[in-house]
Chain A
């Protein structure tokens, strides 16, 4: 047993309104720089859709993540023997076209334009060439099903659906969508770390945040290809790769990351998870059908004395252990089984989990026309009448397995019905309770889930332990000496070359 701590996350998709506030908060704090203008460490995608970069889930082309080959866990992209062959021309990189050509507007024309009959306009100009461009793509080009005949129809997850289901999904009466905010998953088995030829990427021991050392990065861009979620970006100005750093300067001071803090729908939860690093490889070798269970088995019970002992031996502090016991993430993922990792079949074991959206799932139809629901039964129709087929969610969150998705959805549906029975009273309590039991839940748990979902305070959502940087410093230098000597120091901006 090798217990380590990980700052983990849950995004409750039922609450996401797709406002992109998180993306803007992140952009303003971190990526509003030359060379980083196309980076969206946090982005919000509309599903069904192709996302950003276009079709990032298409691993046939992008070759991200891990595969089991000859009984061993290997990167899909390359192997230790082969990577040198392609090091100067790495063939699986997204092009600018899969991201977008960054642009700005020529605002000065508004002030300097000559006097004429028409109003002056600020034309879009490329940030690459400086010339006028006809904008063809953007970071959320398919937002709210924009361009859906092209983008939504090419969602990779739709391959799991039958032809009939696909047609139904895209016809106007039964159109459905939900939002998927994405940041770096800070995986337990990160493919980007494994692929880096320079050894520049590392997973921090104290909180599991995956970072790129800008002094060591040589810009080979293997991480860009190896990350199946395409959350590492290459900065063309500094010649180094960059990624979400989970706002670690904020996390270290007990604050939630910028995207978490600014979230309007309060969909984001952050807490500590303890996981057993010894089990990772065996879990990665499991077949697709057992991956969700294997991933949950990695996560250790913070109340188990054996776990606590092993964690202490690894230097996990008491505050972190205490915080792990109060972790909202542990409750959503392990206790309740509601939150699921995105695409577990990539075998990186993300530390970000999603509670699938129940929102527009159910629906009543007659002769192809939507009915105005008149009773609770009509609102909460069985899952199989959901507008969004379970197989789609299974492809996104269950490695193709419907069971874990169904379990989560059924429980949420049962809780809604239960709350309807207790608060509104138009459902029979006995029926609601039976439904609750059937969904592997009880009134007590239903209440807890309801509270953490709907009535959660700031402290409920973000349980971030003190990180004790002063103790981390002790490893390297005498803290009293450092106290007298450390200041802002000489800041060296990352740049090309050695």
Chain B
């Protein structure tokens, strides 16, 4: 039997259908925040101070929305196009260029609206970079976290399960993600933010629900940075040589142990008197 549809149910559905468009702006705002966390927050905060890029609090007052929208959509065009404001910003942030993130015009508008709303509400989004220099204790703790000897507070998996790096001992780390020995050279100042709010789809999937704290990200980042200062590991010849010697001696041993094995009778028959 199908359930009977009562008039009351019909009314409830009609009300829901009318209300849905009114909920849409709220949903859009949530989308913008999600995108901010995903794409922007590695480098920017709203009201929590400078990071890799500028604090975006009060952006609406500082610059026209039109300029900001263009810059968000295609920073390279502004930076290379000789825009004076862009050039000044590039100088201010030590030549760190904002990458082209493929943001559409609609998304840019939503993001600007989010920045304005957050500014107006007096909220903050994101956390500022830790500015102090890394201590040996930071590096040691970072290594512990990287190797999973200390757990992340959120219970996130250790870096080592997917990444390898120099100085992790004989077996190295995982091979799923890239080797992070030279990551500080590739990411520069973006390293710690990239750990805290990773912009990589694979890492987002893993860390979205279990983000690292700012301190943890700083310590892991310090550890990875410290690797760059170390001389590169020597290619060890002992291992392949040992392998070949082991193989040969293993085969000799197997041959010796099996020397009394059956080697065929008929072919070895000899005429005897």
A92 touches B261 (CB 8 A): yes
A97 touches B273 (CB 8 A): no
Instruction: Indicate whether B266 reaches chain A with its CB closer than 8 angstroms.
Output: yes
Option from A54, A93, A163 in Cβ contact (under 8 Å) with B266: A54
B contact residues around A95 at 8 Å (CB): 262, 264
Instruction: Indicate whether B7 reaches chain A with its CB closer than 8 angstroms.
Output: no
Name A374-410 residues within 8 Å CB distance of B: none
Name A425-445 residues within 8 Å CB distance of B: none
A167 touches B273 (CB 8 A): yes
Contact with B along A45-65 (1 / 0, CB 8 A): 000001000110010011000
A contact residues around B261 at 8 Å (CB): 91-92
Contact with A along B256-271 (1 / 0, CB 8 A): 0010111011110111
B contact residues around A98 at 8 Å (CB): 264-266
Alpha-carbon gap, A97 to B269, bound state (A): 12
Contact with B along A134-168 (1 / 0, CB 8 A): 00010000000000011101100000000100110
How far, in Å, is A84 (CB) from chain B's closest CB?
15
Instruction: Indicate whether B209 reaches chain A with its CB closer than 8 angstroms.
Output: no
Alpha-carbon gap, A79 to B270, bound state (A): 32
A91 touches B258 (CB 8 A): yes
A55 touches B273 (CB 8 A): no
Looking at chain A's contact residues, is the secondary structure mostly helix, strand, loop, or mixed? loop
Alpha-carbon gap, A254 to B15, bound state (A): 90
A61 touches B272 (CB 8 A): no
The number of A-B residue pairs with CB atoms under 8 Å apart is 46
Name A405-423 residues within 8 Å CB distance of B: none
Option from B260, B262, B271, B273 in Cβ contact (under 8 Å) with A150: B271
Name B223-273 residues within 8 Å CB distance of A: 258, 260-262, 264-267, 269-273
Instruction: Indicate whether A94 reaches chain B with its CB closer than 8 angstroms.
Output: yes
B267 touches A62 (CB 8 A): no
Option from B265, B271, B272 in Cβ contact (under 8 Å) with A55: B265
A94 touches B269 (CB 8 A): no
How many of B's residues come within 8 Å of A, CB to CB?
13
B265 touches A54 (CB 8 A): yes
B262 touches A154 (CB 8 A): no
B271 touches A153 (CB 8 A): yes
Looking at chain B's contact residues, is the secondary structure mostly helix, strand, loop, or mixed? loop
A97 touches B258 (CB 8 A): no
Known: A91-B258, A91-B261, A92-B261. A137 touches B266 (CB 8 A): yes
A97 touches B262 (CB 8 A): no
How far, in Å, is B258 (CB) from chain A's closest CB?
6
How far, in Å, is A227 (CB) from chain B's closest CB?
14
A contact residues around B269 at 8 Å (CB): 50, 54-55, 150-151, 154
Alpha-carbon gap, A137 to B272, bound state (A): 19
How far, in Å, is A146 (CB) from chain B's closest CB?
14
B contact residues around A61 at 8 Å (CB): 262, 265
A62 touches B273 (CB 8 A): no
How far, in Å, is B211 (CB) from chain A's closest CB?
48
B273 touches A166 (CB 8 A): yes
B contact residues around A55 at 8 Å (CB): 265-266, 269
A97 touches B272 (CB 8 A): no
A93 touches B262 (CB 8 A): yes
Known: A91-B261, A91-B262, A92-B262. A97 touches B271 (CB 8 A): no
How far, in Å, is A17 (CB) from chain B's closest CB?
27
Name A64-97 residues within 8 Å CB distance of B: 89, 91-95, 97
Contact with B along A220-234 (1 / 0, CB 8 A): 000000000000000
Option from A58, A149, A153, A167 in Cβ contact (under 8 Å) with B265: A58
A163 touches B262 (CB 8 A): no
How far, in Å, is B130 (CB) from chain A's closest CB?
59
Alpha-carbon gap, A97 to B267, bound state (A): 7
Contact with A along B205-224 (1 / 0, CB 8 A): 00000000000000000000
B contact residues around A149 at 8 Å (CB): 271
How far, in Å, is A222 (CB) from chain B's closest CB?
14
Alpha-carbon gap, A153 to B271, bound state (A): 7
Q: Closest chain B residue to A54 by CB distance?
A: B266
B contact residues around A137 at 8 Å (CB): 266
B contact residues around A97 at 8 Å (CB): 264-267
Alpha-carbon gap, A40 to B273, bound state (A): 30
How far, in Å, is A20 (CB) from chain B's closest CB?
21
Known: A61-B262, A98-B265. A154 touches B272 (CB 8 A): yes
Alpha-carbon gap, A30 to B195, bound state (A): 73
Q: Closest chain B residue to A58 by CB distance?
A: B265
Alpha-carbon gap, A167 to B260, bound state (A): 31
How far, in Å, is A250 (CB) from chain B's closest CB?
34
Alpha-carbon gap, A154 to B271, bound state (A): 7
Q: Closest chain B residue to A225 by CB distance?
A: B262
Contact with A along B88-103 (1 / 0, CB 8 A): 0000000000000000
Alpha-carbon gap, A91 to B269, bound state (A): 19
A contact residues around B273 at 8 Å (CB): 153, 163, 166-167
A contact residues around B258 at 8 Å (CB): 89, 91
Alpha-carbon gap, A154 to B269, bound state (A): 7
B contact residues around A50 at 8 Å (CB): 266, 269
Option from A62, A151, A166, A167 in Cβ contact (under 8 Å) with B262: A62
Alpha-carbon gap, A137 to B271, bound state (A): 16
Name A89-124 residues within 8 Å CB distance of B: 89, 91-95, 97-98
Which 10 pairs from chain A and chain B are nearest by CB? Answer: A91-B261, A54-B266, A55-B265, A149-B271, A154-B269, A92-B262, A153-B272, A54-B265, A97-B266, A97-B264
What are 5 A-B residue pairs whose CB atoms fall within 8 Å in the complex?
A50-B266, A97-B265, A149-B271, A150-B270, A154-B272
Residues of A participating in the B interface, judged by any CB pair closer than 8 Å: 50, 54-55, 58, 61-62, 89, 91-95, 97-98, 137, 149-151, 153-154, 163, 166-167
Contacts A54-B269, A94-B262, A150-B270 supplied; 18 other A-B pairs, CB < 8 Å:
A50-B266, A58-B265, A89-B258, A91-B258, A91-B262, A92-B262, A93-B262, A97-B267, A98-B264, A98-B265, A98-B266, A149-B271, A150-B269, A150-B271, A151-B269, A153-B272, A154-B270, A154-B272
